[in-house]
Amino acid sequence: MRVRLTSGADTRSFRAQLIVENRRSMQLIAYSPVGTTLATIRGDGDQVTVTDARNDSFTTGHASDYGLFTGGLPAGEMGMLLLGYPPRRDLTYETTLAGLRRAIVGDVVVTFDPPSLPAKRVVVEHGTDRVEIDHLEVAALK
């Protein structure tokens, strides 16, 4: 996927791979322009481990410590939502026959354009922070 993060005047873009392991766990691998791994973010519930491949270091903490907009969802459920799959019934959804149009998770708004399953373009907004995701390829592994 292609990711663009905007926070205030700071904008970063990179390619990434999202792996949703189960309802609790997910992994996001960020790649450099030449395809090397920059960082790996592993989420388990609301706990996150960030491995910085450039500096050969890692840190752990709560998802909110890293600016991850989970709206209180476990990491795996937020990963499901980013792919366009409603992770549970108690969220606020706007739907079409083709898929989700919008989901609201706490103070996080996730918009899908166009509504489709799997999602093609996803925008996650939390206050003035914004994450734009273009899914380039989606695959299911057994």
Separation CA 101–CA 113 (nearest Å): 7
In the three-class reduction of DSSP (H, G, I as helix; E, B as strand; rest coil), residue 65 is classed as helix
- The reported pTM is 0.89
62-81 core/surface letters (b: 16 or more CB in 10 A; e: else):
ebeeeebbbbebbbbbbbbb
| Residue 54: pLDDT over 70 | yes
Which of 2, 1, 4 lies closest to 125 in space, CA to CA?
A: 4
Domains of the chain: 2-134 (2.50.20.10)
Short-list 102, 42, 108, CA closest to 71? 108
What are the tens digits of pLDDT across the range 5-41?
998 899 999 999 999 999 999 999 999 999 999 999 9
**Could you tell me the pLDDT band of residue 118, with boundaries at 50, 70 and 90?**
confident
Is the preceding omega at residue 114 within 30 degrees of 0, hence cis?
Answer: yes
Give the pLDDT of residue 36: 94
pLDDT tens for 65-112 read 766 667 788 899 999 999 999 999 999 999 999 889 999 998 899 999
